[in-house]
Chains A and B, each alone.
Chain A
Amino acid sequence: MSKKVKDLPSRAKKPSIKERPYMADAPLGHYALRMINIEKYFGLVCALKNINFEVGHNEIVGLIGDNGAGKSTMVKILTGVFPPTSGELYVAGQKVNLHTYNVKRAHAHGVETVYQDRSLGEKQVLWRNFFIGREITLPFGFLDVKKEKEIANEIMVNTIGFRGKGITVDSSVKLLSGGERQGVAIGRAMHFEADLIILDEPTAALSLKEVRKVINFVHKIKEGGKACIYISHDIQDVYEISDRFVIMDRGVIVASIVKKDITLKELDKFLLEYSHGMKDMAES
């Protein structure tokens, strides 16, 4: 097994997408998401280089990488916050026009994102947070507050499972704990029937007990037949919930490993060796 890890393409070997064994059994076009040769430059700085990445239907992909590896840049391209410099993006088998792709279109395509701390407006009440960006409106853009509150309440009770505790749809987000906030964000994503939920470090600011809750939510995503990209620093969590691990470093994808091919210990060792390897390279 350890041999296999060693064989994984390292940066020095210049990995090629064709060499990688993952997803070989999945029929073509059966991806929830596919990125082909995506590149992103900020001015002259190359943030993402030659990214080929796919997520199968009902697949949970753990995206691992150090700070600055390009994970967040990739997520922002996927979710339409900004366009890539070049490359192609397919969502649910359909090619996406990158010139017109934005957050609203990503939502329409069924791509939802839960961020570590950027998912909810803190001072705003919960019902507003559920519908921000896609409000239920009456004529002239006025909000259908009654309907929004009803649905928000239903999500809170049924999907998220808030019980009593004095928190209602009229409470502001600042009264919620970190775990509850992530519950709201994930519940929102599930309500809007996301086919692909991206969780960008959802547990970074949470207590252990709350991390558990978030992981349970991810299990629900899998059970619901949806796909998910899970980004975290915590290898243990990533290992538990993911079907496949994609490892990024300095703007490139350096490895993709199916869960059955690797144990948690080996994955941890691989990551450690990898980061040490990079260090050695930098020193020499």
Chain B
Amino acid sequence: MKQKRSPLAFLARIEGLPVFAVLVALYAVLLITATNVFTGYRIYMSFLQTIPPVLVCGLGLTLVITAGEIDLSFPAVVALSGFVFAWVFKNFNSPWAAWAGFILALAAGALVGYVNGLLVARIGVPSIMATLAAQFFWYGVTVLLANGLQLNIKEVIPNIVHTIFVGRIGGIVPCQAIWALVLAVFLWFILNRHKFGEEIMFIGDNAEVARVMGINVEATRIKLFTVHGMIAAFAGLLLTLEINVFFPTQGAGFLLPAMATVFIGGTSIAGGLGSIAGTFFGAYIIGSLEAGIVATTISGYWVQLIEGLVMGASVVLNVVISEGHGATFVNRVRGWVRPVRSPERER
């Protein structure tokens, strides 16, 4: 059963390369079509400021999808963690209030994730349903606790927590971009070089195999959802700190972009394999598109159409370059362009 290796197969070895190529191509096009904007540094700094929260959610989601599960509840966690932080910070007049809020916000995210994990692993609710319910429930909890109001926390700006997580390095580079990068590198090691990551991959590949090989599938799933809850809470913290305000609907728009970053990045919905590097570049593709398209001065009505095109192209490229598919694809395209004829007819 030896498959013919595609000539592009060696490219598949470099994780995230196709997505990176799309990202480079995208910036090349933007540099040509919106030269003024994209030759200055400001647009890039603004991307580094706006993309990290979605990117962080996408990184956690990559692990969840690699395990063959899905988590739809992270937007609610983004809102909940922002609320917890803002409320603690506002209501406790202590120098440690910001840190306490930060840790409690992460704990709240972990709690949401843990409950998700219990529902999925112990009770056996399919994760798409469990986390959909969780999304509504925890979003509802947040709105109730906040009375539907936003919390302004301008006072956090001089705080050390603000400086560490969303300050500006050299007055220019947003810290959250560095944190997102650090998290990406860390999670890459967890997924590819750690026991936990290997367990995630085997469970996503085939939970029955994982079980008979001695992996505690239930415990690993619970751990995974808990970790993702914390990661989503961290995204919420970055967002709330950056804009100095908690608002109840924060994170509501994260669901589809975060999922898109994961799939553009080459992580398969079928589970078993995930690409942290792909998600990383994918997030910058998704995050740069809207502002980029607007900067080219074509009508804003084009934004979604072009976004869809770029996503489609990335996903196709991922399929083509993954092992063994390249040759088949090339043959198929040849077939379309010049239908294969039998030798008799050609004579």
A residues contacting B by CB (< 8 A) are 76, 79-81, 102-104, 107, 113, 115, 118-124, 128, 132-135, 137, 140-143, 145, 165-166, 172, 175-177
**Which of A103, A121, A128, A166 counts the most B-chain CB atoms under 10 A from its CB?**
A121
Whole-angstrom distance between the alpha carbons of A115 and B1 in the complex? 20
Nearest CB of B to A37, in Å: 25
Nearest CB of A to B322, in Å: 11
Q: Is B206 an interface residue (CB 8 A)?
A: yes
A128 and B208 within 8 A (CB)? no
B212 and A107 within 8 A (CB)? no
A118 and B214 within 8 A (CB)? no
B198 and A132 within 8 A (CB)? yes
Q: Is B136 an interface residue (CB 8 A)?
A: no
Whole-angstrom distance between the alpha carbons of A132 and B209 in the complex? 10
**From A118, A145, A177, contact of B209 by CB (8 A):** A118
Interface residues on B, range: 20 to 34
B195 and A141 within 8 A (CB)? yes
Q: In chain B, residues 174-223, which have Cβ atoms closer than 8 Å to a Cβ of chain A?
A: 189, 193-196, 198, 201-202, 205-206, 208-215
Whole-angstrom distance between the alpha carbons of A119 and B195 in the complex? 18
Residues of A within 8 A of B1 (CB): 175-177
Residues of A within 8 A of B2 (CB): 165-166, 175
Whole-angstrom distance between the alpha carbons of A278 and B196 in the complex? 49
11 contacts between A and B (CB under 8 A): A81-B211, A118-B212, A121-B201, A121-B206, A121-B209, A122-B205, A123-B205, A140-B194, A142-B195, A175-B3, A176-B1
Residues of B within 8 A of A120 (CB): 209
Complex: chain B residue closest to A79, CB-CB: B212
Q: Is B273 an interface residue (CB 8 A)?
A: yes
Query: A103 and B213 in contact (CB under 8 A), knowing A122-B206, A123-B205, A175-B1?
Result: yes
Residues of B within 8 A of A165 (CB): 2
Nearest CB of A to B93, in Å: 39
Task: Give me the 4 closest cross-chain CB pairs, A-B, nearest first.
Answer: A133-B214, A103-B214, A123-B272, A121-B205
B323 and A132 within 8 A (CB)? no
Complex: chain B residue closest to A170, CB-CB: B13
**Which of A76, A80, A134, A175 counts the most B-chain CB atoms under 10 A from its CB?**
A175
Whole-angstrom distance between the alpha carbons of A175 and B9 in the complex? 13
Whole-angstrom distance between the alpha carbons of A133 and B217 in the complex? 11
Whole-angstrom distance between the alpha carbons of A104 and B199 in the complex? 14
Residues of B within 8 A of A121 (CB): 201-202, 205-206, 209-210, 272
Nearest CB of B to A135, in Å: 5
B202 and A132 within 8 A (CB)? yes
Residues of A within 8 A of B198 (CB): 128, 132, 135, 143
Whole-angstrom distance between the alpha carbons of A120 and B213 in the complex? 9
Nearest CB of A to B222, in Å: 17
Whole-angstrom distance between the alpha carbons of A66 and B212 in the complex? 22
Nearest CB of A to B108, in Å: 26
Per-position binary interface string of chain B over residues 53-89, scored 1 when its CB falls under 8 Å from any chain A CB and 0 otherwise: 0000000000000000000000000000000000000
B214 and A124 within 8 A (CB)? no
Complex: chain B residue closest to A135, CB-CB: B195
Residues of A within 8 A of B5 (CB): 166
Residues of B within 8 A of A141 (CB): 194-196
Whole-angstrom distance between the alpha carbons of A145 and B208 in the complex? 24
Whole-angstrom distance between the alpha carbons of A102 and B211 in the complex? 10
Nearest CB of B to A231, in Å: 14
Nearest CB of A to B4, in Å: 11
**From B195, B211, B214, B272, contact of A143 by CB (8 A):** B195
Residues of A within 8 A of B206 (CB): 118, 121-122
A104 and B214 within 8 A (CB)? yes
B195 and A118 within 8 A (CB)? no
Residues of A within 8 A of B189 (CB): 142
A142 and B194 within 8 A (CB)? yes
Nearest CB of B to A116, in Å: 11
Per-position binary interface string of chain B over residues 13-35, scored 1 when its CB falls under 8 Å from any chain A CB and 0 otherwise: 00000000000000000000000
**Which of B198, B206, B213, B323 counts the most A-chain CB atoms under 10 A from its CB?**
B213
Nearest CB of A to B122, in Å: 16
Residues of A within 8 A of B273 (CB): 123
Query: A132 and B196 in contact (CB under 8 A), knowing A121-B201, A175-B3?
Result: no
